[in-house]
Amino acid sequence: MSASRHRWHFNAVVGYSLVGAIALIAAVAVFWTPYDPLHLSVRNKLQAPSLVHWLGTDELGRDVASRAMAGAATSCWVALLTVLFAVTSGTVIGLLAGFIRGWTDRIVMAFNDTLLAFPGILLALAIMVIIGANQYGIIIALGLAYAPMVVRVVRGSVLSIREKEYIEASVMIGNSPVVTMLRHVLPNCVAPIAVLATSMFGWVILSESALSFLGLGVPPPAPTWGNMLSGSRSHIQSAVWLGLVPGVCISLTLLGVNLLGDHLRDRLDPRIH
Amino acid sequence: MIRYIIRRLLMTLPTLFLVGVSVFALIRLIPGDPAQLMLGDSVDPGELVEVRRQMGLDQPIHIQFFEWASKVLQGDLGVSLSDGQAVLPLLVERFQVSGVVVLIAVMAALMIAVPAGLFAAHKQNRAADISIVALSTVLLSIPSFWLGLILLLTFGLALGWLPVVGYVPLSTSFLIGMSFLVLPIATLAVIEAGVLTRMMRASAIEVQRLEYVTHARAKGASEWRVLTRHILPNAFAPTLTLVGLILGNLLGGIAVLETVFTLPGLGRLLVDAIFARDYPVVQGCLLFTALIYVLVNLLVDLCYPLLDPRVTAE
């Protein structure tokens, strides 16, 4: 058993470090990058990594390290807003459906289950068709695509929590349903929401980079890991670093988030143990 | 058992109905006149009026929906705006590419994941288990389009073992056709094996604690028999559900991989249609993919009782 505890401890440390490092890089990139990530310099195009350009330059002579940093900021910001949007809307709807029950619950959940019956990325693509490809379009599209999962999880927790005695007590001492819901039901849903939100952050990073890779996400010239990877394709043979840098960035971020998610699930979700 | 099947079949009806409503609504939610959208930009006003009448845009919305739905049910998904091709045959043709890739990849992933997951669970918390979990978590974190790019770079460009760009239908030449599909299939299989191994391991660990496993061991069954006869069938059920979800998600998300490997599949068709504002094709792709997703999950649920008869006893 000690081996297990040791391992999860190790994984959590790696997870926290990776996520912390990426968050730090993203935060720094908002204020400072080695070069202007949008600055074109065709004279310096496709330079291999060197002391001047740590990670080389791309086909338009832009500094890859600066673009990767700025990409971290964009990707994390988009993912953060998307998760916030999905979690907030999903929590409100799930809370109401689980607390009111009856027909409200039935109709909401029938609709919700239908949305869950679509693959998330397909739903996001469909929504992108309607609102068009831009940074905020992608937040709405991915947020709406992932919100149904939050609704499902929150409603499930609410249904089990509302049968607890302390909820009965809260109603009996005369608390209004709104107070009961916000003060006593909601705080007890936080653990499963946190676990889901962590995994979701990873899925959104992945989906956003996939959509940007296809040209349906954050539009160029704003750098994201997805569109950097997409741009690297025509130079993949002559400039390997162009394809390696964004790919390694995405993979390390996802690895960190996945490890963190596993750790949180072990800590917070009693159903696993 | 029959009641379970009927109930599960009936459950797909509202889903399919709402799928239809959403795809129908899509074209009406895009800002602008649907007839204009369907025709593209350069049309004369007379033709526009004619198409508006043909599309029934002068009718109440629910009549429009039922007319559209009855056409869809007869397999009439309209024609592509870019080349006037009927949408349904186009979808079927493209689906054959994506379908082959996804199906073979998931089968291969299962062949890796089931033994690996069982083995990891059997050696829980030992070195072998820790390495398997670590490896699958790493695989889980690699985007498919990046791994595809790396494999393409290694086996296509650097080693020159496999073709880099292009596609030959399997019906034309199986061997040459497969040489174009090996890398996309390998990419997907490796990544999905990561997800499935973790799932298989988690459910096997849960199952191997149960009393009937202890009982099987106590009565002297060999470890191999315990693993294959008692743990595997029960641990496989959740993995199967995940397989259904993965199949659907892959069909929705395969566009990126088809872009990397320049395969003319369903995902690429959808993305190209979105860029070209070819709305009949967009609608067709969404409808088709959602239908396949619903059908695959139906099939998975119908297979469930074969593994775990308790499902039908509810």
Distance (Å) from the alpha carbon of B206 to chain A's nearest alpha carbon: 9
Distance (Å) from the alpha carbon of B173 to chain A's nearest alpha carbon: 28
Q: Is B125 part of the contact surface with chain A (CB cutoff 8 Å)?
A: yes
Would you call A244 helix, strand, or coil by DSSP? helix
Write down the pLDDT at residue B132. Answer: 92
Which of B30, B256, B293 is facing A117, going by the closest CB pair? B293
Which residues in B lie closer than 8 A to residue A5 (C-beta atoms)?
none
C-beta of residue A202 within 8 angstroms of C-beta of residue B195: no
| C-alpha distance from residue A219 to each of A19, A138, A226, B85 (Å) | 25, 10, 10, 31
Percentage above 90 pLDDT, chain B: 12
Which residues in B lie closer than 8 A to residue A4 (C-beta atoms)?
125
Would you call A63 helix, strand, or coil by DSSP? strand
Does residue B224 register a pLDDT over 60? yes
> How many angstroms separate the CA atoms of A60 and B177, rounded?
36
Q: Is B18 part of the contact surface with chain A (CB cutoff 8 Å)?
A: yes
- Using CA coordinates, name the residue in chain A closest to B246: A119
Q: Give the residues across from A57 on adjacent strands.
A: A63
Instruction: Give one DSSP letter per residue of chain B, joined into a string.
Output: -HHHHHHHHHHHHHHHHHHHHHHHHHHHHSSS-HHHHHH-S---HHHHHHHHHHTTTTS-HHHHHHHHHHHHHTT---B-TTT--BHHHHHHHHHHHHHHHHHHHHHHHHHHHHHHHHHHHHTTTSHHHHHHHHHHHHHHTS-HHHHHHHHIIIIIIIS--S--S----TTT-HHHHHHHHHHHHHHHHHHHHHHHHHHHHHHHHHHHTSHHHHHHHHTT--HHHIIIIIIHHHHHHHHHHHHHHHHHHHHHHTHHHHHHTT---HHHHHHHHHHTT-HHHHHHHHHHHHHHHHHHHHHHHHHHHHH-GGGGG-
Q: What is the ipTM for the molecules in this complex?
A: 0.83
Assess whether the previous peptide bond of B309 is cis (omega < 30° from 0). Answer: no
Does residue B231 register a pLDDT over 80? yes
Q: Is A12 part of the contact surface with chain B (CB cutoff 8 Å)?
A: no
Instruction: Give one DSSP letter per residue of A194-226, joined into a string.
Output: HHHHHHHHHHHHHHHHHHHHHTSSSPTTS--HH
C-beta of residue A215 within 8 angstroms of C-beta of residue B275: yes
Q: Inter-chain contact B26–A259, Cβ cutoff 8 Å?
A: no
Distance (Å) from the alpha carbon of A1 to chain B's nearest alpha carbon: 8
Q: Inter-chain contact A118–B150, Cβ cutoff 8 Å?
A: no
Which residues in A lie closer than 8 A to residue B131 (C-beta atoms)?
none
Write down the pLDDT at residue B162. Answer: 79
More confident residue, A134 or B291: B291
Average pLDDT, chain B: 83
Q: What letter would DSSP give residue A61?
A: -
Write down the pLDDT at residue A83. Answer: 95
The token pair at B40 is 């593209």
Q: Is A13 part of the contact surface with chain B (CB cutoff 8 Å)?
A: no
Which residues in B lie closer than 8 A to residue A126 (C-beta atoms)?
22-23, 26, 286
Which residues in A lie closer than 8 A to residue B286 (C-beta atoms)?
122, 125-126
Write down the pLDDT at residue A101. Answer: 82
Q: Is B131 part of the contact surface with chain A (CB cutoff 8 Å)?
A: no
Which of A121, A243, A251 is facing B142, going by the closest CB pair? A251
Orientation of helix B87-122 relative to helix B127-140, angle to 10°: 160
Q: Inter-chain contact A254–B141, Cβ cutoff 8 Å?
A: yes
Distance (Å) from the alpha carbon of B75 to chain A's nearest alpha carbon: 21
> How many angstroms separate the CA atoms of A23 and A20, rounded?
5
Which residues in B lie closer than 8 A to residue A206 (C-beta atoms)?
143
C-beta of residue B252 within 8 angstroms of C-beta of residue A121: yes
Q: Inter-chain contact A117–B143, Cβ cutoff 8 Å?
A: no
- Per-residue pLDDT tens, chain A, 273 aa: give them: 444 555 557 888 988 999 999 999 989 888 887 878 877 777 777 777 777 767 777 777 788 888 888 889 999 999 999 999 999 999 999 998 888 888 888 888 878 877 777 777 777 887 887 877 677 788 988 998 899 999 988 998 888 888 888 888 988 898 888 888 888 888 888 888 988 899 899 989 998 888 888 888 888 788 888 888 888 877 777 777 888 888 999 999 999 999 998 888 888 765 543
The token pair at B136 is 């699958």
Write down the pLDDT at residue B42. Answer: 63
Rounded average pLDDT over B163-176: 78
Write down the pLDDT at residue A1. Answer: 41
Which of A130, A202, A262 is facing B26, going by the closest CB pair? A130
Cα Rg of chain A, angstroms: 22
Which of A122, A129, A250 is facing B146, going by the closest CB pair? A250
Which residues in B lie closer than 8 A to residue A110 (C-beta atoms)?
14
Interval B52-77: pLDDT, tens: 777 677 778 888 888 888 888 888 88
Sign of CA dihedral B7, B12, B17, B18: positive
Interval B88-113: pLDDT, tens: 999 999 888 888 899 999 999 999 99
**B233 band by pLDDT with thresholds 50, 70 and 90:** confident
Mutate to test the interface with A, among B141, B278, B281, B285 (most CBs of A within 10 A): B141
